Amino acid sequence: MWAWASRFALFGVTATWLCCLSTEAVYADAAGVTLKLPGLGALRGSLNTSAWTSRAIYQFQGIPFAKPPVGHLRFKPPEPADPWNGTLDATKFGKKCPALTRSNQEQEFKEWTSLLTPENTEDCLTLNVYTPKLFSNASLALPVMVYIHGGSFRLGSAQEYWPNYLLEKDVVLVVPQYRLGPLGFLSLQTEDVPGNMGLMDQALALRWVRNYISFFGGDPDRVTIFGQSAGGAAVTLMQLSPLVDENLFAKVIAQSGSALATWVIDRNPVRSGLAIARLANCNQTKMADLTACLREIPVKDLLLAHSKFLVADIAAGGRGTGGNHPVIQTAGNQRFLVEPPLKSIQEGRFKHVPLLGGVTRHEGSFILGNIYDNILQEYNLLHNEDYLRHNLTRTTLRFSGIEDTTGMISDLLNEKYFQSGELGNFTAMTPGLIDICGVALLKAATFRFLLENSRQQRSFLYSFNYFGEHTKFGYGVPVDYPFPGGVAHSDDLLYLFPLPSVVLNSEDRAISRTVVELWTNFAAYSDPAPANGVSFWPAMSTETGPYLRIDRTSEVRVNFLEEYAIATTAGLGPSRAPLSAASMPTLLLWLVMALLEVN
């Protein structure tokens, strides 16, 4: 309280000075801070403080950047928000985009809808802006970082991403929301349901940033887009999209995901879309009638139909990728993606920009967790030596989107990742399986994208190998796997975004300082080093590196492919308690990133 009051008094003084500079665009009083956006309206924000040095952070949350995508706008490309009268209360988060998790969907959805009125369930296209200063003198404008959250294009929200670490540095942070699941990605390849709406939402948010970020002290010419997992795929898709103007971003940070990952694109969207429609009881034969039906059904029915579709698809031997993924559009007056990402990349049709990207050491552990739940436990195969020996590697590949019809790839992998005597014994196979899953779903695709980009632009590659006190393994749900998660998928986020329930110990905090400095340096100068503990980080210059291994003692190494076998060669580290479910309610939404959801 005291800190708040004294900071506030200080700000009052600053604001008086500001008002004269910027024609009363900014003013503060006892109730908060108000900012005018020309052509849009006034916003009332609030104050927070940075995590380590208690610098002031001005926060504006729940700012609408698009018209509510409801009624005739459901499934349509987003339209820019209308101006508003009066002062918008930007002191609270906007509502989350509707999403269902697989477990307990009915009950969870009830809790979810109880927070929403029927009219605004889908009205979730808002963004949050966090800035250490509020004036728009262009020569002092700060680099801007726009974070696209992950969650399989189906889960998550902007509320999980607080600014208190990153805003130790002079950057403006923006976190937009986008439509998720079928509301954001269903595609019938028609004008009315084109697909890729969620990505167009992100692109519209970038346009908003271009137009308005200077009023928050940000530099529209120095925008870095960054994202993790599906968010990492999304930011690299921005590089490929003909719909995204070059001036909307200058740099990219892709964490644990890229447009090249096998799970990114839904290759049969119309089949998925029609199946979901049928499950939602929209089985009219005329496309126009069917579309009208889909537009009118309650969100809950649509999400439940999608969920049933995923479950049925898996049961029928499919990969459960339909209805919530980017598509190659063949219809729509706005087309976000028009050819497979690999083709754009091979033929050089993408925006080469300075790029920073990488993976975590044991990306594969959460995928193996899903294989354990959905296959080994489900079909009682954990002790079936014959299955483990002959089928498991191939099954793992199939769920990674790689159809190994001859068995050749599995044979090679078995040869590389398992010693004699290990095949057939799940415990002994665990490190190799974690490596295989990590490479197949995330490491190779991230590496390959960086490599292609590095032929034209400075590209900084990393592997995040630091084993800290906390982990996101299990996503807030108690897990009971016969193996530890290691440095799991998403563990890098613990050091970029504070969770209210987690206090970093001093060693964790040092790593946090390192990644915060590397990331914000890149946003400011296109060069991540020097930073705390990292004096030098050269851009990629060969076919395998160099890359930075981020750890207690970080080091520049030459061959990134060594990270492909890191669990096999260096193990998984000691076990540790995952973050408890009770302390991480929002992360429950991430629950059960089952294979189908990764896909």
Indicate the helix (H) or strand (E) that contains 131: strand 126-131
Nearer to ligand NAG, 140 or 312 (CB): 140
Site for ligand NAG contains 7 (CB under 6 A): no
DSSP state of 542: S
As a whole number of angstroms, the distance between CA 240 and CA 238 comes to 5
HSE-up of 173 (CA within 13 Å, CB side)? 29
Nearer to ligand NAG, 162 or 185 (CB): 162
**What is the smallest separation between the CB atom of 424 and ligand NAG, expressed in angstroms?**
8
Nearer to ligand NAG, 46 or 104 (CB): 46
Q: Could you say which of 427, 505, 542, 580 contacts ligand NAG (CB under 6 A)? A: 427
Neighbours of 559 (CB within 10 A): 13
Nearer to ligand NAG, 332 or 498 (CB): 498
Whose structure tokens read 């870095």?
A: 224
- Binding part of the chain for ligand NAG, among 133-141, 236-244, 412-420, 460-468 by CB under 6 A, reads 133-141
Q: Are strands 459-464 and 547-550 parallel, antiparallel or unpaired?
A: parallel
Of 463, 489, 517, 554, which one is the catalytic site residue? 489
Our answer to whether residue 363 is catalytic in this structure is yes
**What is the smallest separation between the CB atom of 239 and ligand NAG, expressed in angstroms?**
31
Site for ligand NAG contains 113 (CB under 6 A): no
What one-letter code names the amino acid at 547? Y
Nearer to ligand NAG, 8 or 27 (CB): 8
- Binding part of the chain for ligand NAG, among 217-225, 386-394, 527-535, 574-582 by CB under 6 A, reads 386-394
Q: Calculate the alpha carbon distances from 340 to 48, 230, 261, 344 in Å.
A: 43, 17, 11, 7
Whose structure tokens read 């779903």?
A: 441
Q: Which of 181, 430, 414 is nearest to 308 (CA)?
A: 181
**What is the smallest separation between the CB atom of 524 and ligand NAG, expressed in angstroms?**
17
Query: How would DSSP label each residue in 327-338?
Result: ---SSSSS-S--
**What is the smallest separation between the CB atom of 277 and ligand NAG, expressed in angstroms?**
10
Site for ligand NAG contains 532 (CB under 6 A): no
Query: HEC profile for 45-100?
Result: EEEEECCCCCCEEEEEEEEECECCCCHHHCCCCCCECCCCCCEEECCCCCCCCCCC
Site for ligand NAG contains 140 (CB under 6 A): yes
As a whole number of angstroms, the distance between CA 361 and CA 434 comes to 10
Q: Could you say which of 105, 211, 374, 391 contacts ligand NAG (CB under 6 A)? A: 391
Residue 536 Ramachandran class (φ > 0 left, ψ -120 to 50 alpha, else beta) = beta
As a whole number of angstroms, the distance between CA 584 and CA 599 comes to 24
- Binding part of the chain for ligand NAG, among 247-255, 331-339, 422-430, 531-539 by CB under 6 A, reads 422-430
What one-letter code names the amino acid at 277? A
Of 152, 157, 229, 459, which one is the catalytic site residue? 229
Neighbours of 200 (CB within 10 A): 25
Site for ligand NAG contains 586 (CB under 6 A): no
- Binding part of the chain for ligand NAG, among 134-142, 476-484, 518-526, 555-563 by CB under 6 A, reads 134-142
Residues numbered 81 to 110 that lie near ligand NAG (CB under 6 A) are 84-85
Site for ligand NAG contains 428 (CB under 6 A): yes
**What is the smallest separation between the CB atom of 57 and ligand NAG, expressed in angstroms?**
8
Nearer to ligand NAG, 87 or 391 (CB): 391
- Binding part of the chain for ligand NAG, among 136-144, 147-155, 232-240, 520-528 by CB under 6 A, reads 136-144
Nearer to ligand NAG, 64 or 401 (CB): 64
* 50 within 8 A of 166, measured Cβ to Cβ: no
Residues numbered 47 to 86 that lie near ligand NAG (CB under 6 A) are 48, 84-85
Q: Are strands 41-49 and 87-89 parallel, antiparallel or unpaired?
A: parallel
Q: Could you say which of 23, 107, 139, 333 contacts ligand NAG (CB under 6 A)? A: 139
Site for ligand NAG contains 14 (CB under 6 A): no
Q: Could you say which of 161, 387, 547, 564 contacts ligand NAG (CB under 6 A)? A: 387
| Whether residue 182 has a cis bond before it, omega within 30° of 0 | no
Neighbours of 17 (CB within 10 A): 10
Backbone torsions φ then ψ of 238, nearest 5 degrees: -60, -35
Size of the site for ligand NAG (CB under 6 A): 20
Residues numbered 482 to 511 that lie near ligand NAG (CB under 6 A) are 498, 500
Beta bridge partners of 148: 227
Site for ligand NAG contains 425 (CB under 6 A): yes
Q: Are strands 126-131 and 172-176 parallel, antiparallel or unpaired?
A: antiparallel
Nearer to ligand NAG, 381 or 534 (CB): 381
Tokens of 586: 């929002």
Q: Could you say which of 103, 281, 419, 541 contacts ligand NAG (CB under 6 A)? A: 281
Site for ligand NAG contains 22 (CB under 6 A): no
Whose structure tokens read 């489900």?
A: 378
Residue 32 Ramachandran class (φ > 0 left, ψ -120 to 50 alpha, else beta) = left
Tokens of 460: 């900084």
Of 122, 160, 168, 363, which one is the catalytic site residue? 363
Q: Is residue 126 packed enough to be buried (19+ CB in 10 Å), middle (13-18) or exposed (0-12)?
A: buried
Nearer to ligand NAG, 365 or 459 (CB): 365
Backbone torsions φ then ψ of 595, nearest 5 degrees: -50, -45
Residues numbered 159 to 218 that lie near ligand NAG (CB under 6 A) are 162, 164
Backbone torsions φ then ψ of 186, nearest 5 degrees: -55, 140
Nearer to ligand NAG, 137 or 569 (CB): 137
**What is the smallest separation between the CB atom of 572 and ligand NAG, expressed in angstroms?**
12
Dihedral (C-alpha) 61, 65, 71, 76: value to the nearest 10 degrees?
-130
Nearer to ligand NAG, 283 or 580 (CB): 283
Our answer to whether residue 229 is catalytic in this structure is yes
**What is the smallest separation between the CB atom of 497 and ligand NAG, expressed in angstroms?**
8
Site for ligand NAG contains 137 (CB under 6 A): yes
Residues that bind ligand NAG (CB under 6 A): 21, 46, 48, 84-85, 137, 139-140, 162, 164, 281, 283, 387, 390-391, 425, 427-428, 498, 500
Question: Which residues are part of the catalytic machinery?
Answer: 229, 363, 489
